Structure 1
Amino acid sequence: MRTLVVGASGHLGSEVARLASAAGSDVSGTATTAATGWSPLDIRDSSAVHTLIASVRPELIVNAAYRATEWSTCADGAANVALAAAACDARLIHVSSDAVHAGRPTPYGDDEPPTPIYAYGAAKAAAETAVTAITPTAILVRTSLITGSALSCKQTRLALDLARGVRDGALFTDEIRCPLDATDLAAAILELATTDYTGVINVAGPQALSRADLGRLTAATHGLDPAAIRTCTAAEAGLGNRPLDIRLDTTRARALLKTRLRPVSESITGSPAPPQH
């Protein structure tokens, strides 16, 4: 299968490209610069997106590109990729985010409409609307915090830097997510490409953790003192407009996929997670 990974230099995109190549796919990728070894592409440029995708003629496109601070990349760029995918009749998997939700104590199902309360969530919600309208057969993967090695994962590097005292900052005790290892997410995305599924699907970890607890777990796993990480609430940090408790119900994904979505305590430590009571 000819596969194009948009955002192949990023944490998730690089894992998708690696796993697809290992499975025998003919993989092409894009990045913002040629220095990464992938084709340089500004997905905000509709003409450039159409030209590149028309030249590659992929059968599968995975759009893992994003910039949390840029509407034009998250929303307009996603629409450009969807239009080009439709023009060459490629299967499209668009990576979305739990940020489309406002947050609440009970988990969100796959089919629940977006309720964004900040700019990044609104951009990702707009991207979902555009992708669905342009390519109704697309898969929209809503995921949560993505974890991985310190070499590739910003979340991991932040936790380790805070534990070592080489960076100022704090992790929030009240911001709850369902973290998932990038390799597990990439494997699930590629497995979804082999199904006839369309529409939104939640793909996240089964374990809900605060950012503070995730950081402490990361620090302990690397032999650092978890208590060295300073913590606070989002409000104490002056960020009252962020969604706090966002849990994704992954019942549908777990029933559909053979890929195991591991608890983050297992993927980080390498040991099976304790049973949940």
Structure 2
Amino acid sequence: MVGGSGLLGREVTRQARCAGQRVATTFHRRRPDTDSHHVDIRDRDAVVALVRAVRPAVVVNAAYQQSDWATTADGGTHVALAAADIGARLVHVSSDAVFSGAAGRYDETRVPDPITPYGAAKAAAETAVRGITPAAVIARTSLIIGHGDSQHERQVHALAGGATGALFTDDLRCPVDVADLAAALLELAASPHAGIHHVAGADAVSRHELGVLIARRDGLDESALPRALRTGSGIPGPVDVRLDSTNSQARLTTRLRGVREFLLTPCR
């Protein structure tokens, strides 16, 4: 599990271990557990050496850093090279950031047209993965919600407490529950499927509506959440990216619930 200290990496690891699988994770700054290996995925030789030493049957790569091309693009390439070197199955986690938002709804046949450096890095990693390991799964996802532990949930709590900032009402995404996403990735890892899969939630909501749903679940004052428009704000990023996960859902037994459903459950 590359990126094992992150929100998604921790959940994939937890579910795999609960299923009786042995999981070795990697970390860069925060060691998630004792069976974890420090590696900087920007260092190709270090990644290849580690994968040769551990020899996993499956490599899941959920590592990224939005402000760093070398981590997201080069690092993704290095992981793909290492997986190919030992013949390991690869599941590479990508993002809806590879799209501009001009089309609104995107299925797996859409060609990436990123408008941010992060989106470009993610698209570059996808190209590298497809060229190096054609049998790999590239799983594009959207905003990941984590039972109180995601950056989106933390932002909502901060804004409800009076922090500066706002939630866009015109910025649409398809948020996914971290447990649903992790289960889908593990299912894809064990499947014969290859290529691009969209693995996002069933509901398209604005960032503000997402904030309201989080506030209601957590007992916060939803009226305290400031609104704004991304359009005309000067803040870069796509406005309307709705991942169509219909084709992937048809292949999965894991149900990709919509945010209006999974945020009904109180956060424990």
Identify whether the pair has TM-score above 0.5, normalized to the shorter chain. yes
Q: Would you say the 8 A contact 1:148–1:268 is kept in 2?
A: no
Pick from 250, 259, 266 the counterpart of residue 264 of structure 1: 259
Checking the alignment, whether the CA contact within 8 Å between 2:156 and 2:225 is kept in structure 1 is yes
* 2:20 pairs with 1:24: yes
Q: Which residue in the other structure is 2:96 paired with? A: 98
SS of corresponding position for 1:26: coil
- 1:113 positional shift: 1.2
- Contact 2:212–2:222 under 8 Å retained in 1: yes
Task: Output the TM-score relative to the length of structure 2.
Answer: 0.95
Task: Tell me the equivalent position of 1:12.
Answer: 8
Give the conservation status (yes or no) of the 8 Å contact 2:170–2:231: no
Q: Which among 182, 187, 191 is matched to residue 191 of structure 1?
A: 187
Q: What's the counterpart of residue 169 of structure 1?
A: 165
Counterpart of 1:254 in structure 2 is 249
Q: Of residues 165, 178, 188 in structure 2, which corresponds to 1:182?
A: 178
2:249/2:256 contact within 8 Å kept = yes
Q: 1:43 corresponds to which residue?
A: 41
Residues 235 and 112 (structure 1), Cα distance of their counterparts in 2 relative to 1, 3 Å cut: closer
Per-residue deviation, residues 178-206 of structure 1 (Å, max 9, x unmatched): 00001100000000112111100101011
- Are 1:213 and 2:184 matched, yes or no? no
2:244 partner amino acid: D
Corresponding residue to 1:226 among 222, 226, 229: 222
For residues 160 and 267 of structure 1, the distance between their equivalents in structure 2, rounded to whole angstroms, comes to 18
What is the alpha-carbon distance in structure 2 between the residues aligned to residue 34 and residue 253 of structure 1? 32
Structural mapping, 1:102-121, within 5 Å: 102-104=100-102, 106-121=104-119
Contact 1:33 1:39 in 2 (8 A): no
- Corresponding residue for residue 275 of structure 1: none
Q: How far apart in 2 are the matches of 1:174 and 1:163?
A: 20
Query: What SS does the corresponding residue of 2:23 show, helix, strand or coil?
Result: strand
Q: CA deviation at 1:105?
A: 5.2
Q: Find the counterpart in structure 1 of residue 240 from structure 2.
A: 245
Identity in percent: 49
Residue aligned with 2:241, SS = coil
Normalized against structure 1, the TM-score is what?
Answer: 0.92
2:52 paired residue among 44, 48, 54 = 54
What SS does structure 2 have at the residue aligned with 1:6? coil
Distance, in Å, in 2 between the alignment partners of 1:32 and 1:106 is: 35
Moved over 4 A (4+): none
The equivalent residue for 1:160 is 157
Contact 1:184 1:260 in 2 (8 A): yes
Count, aligned residues: 264
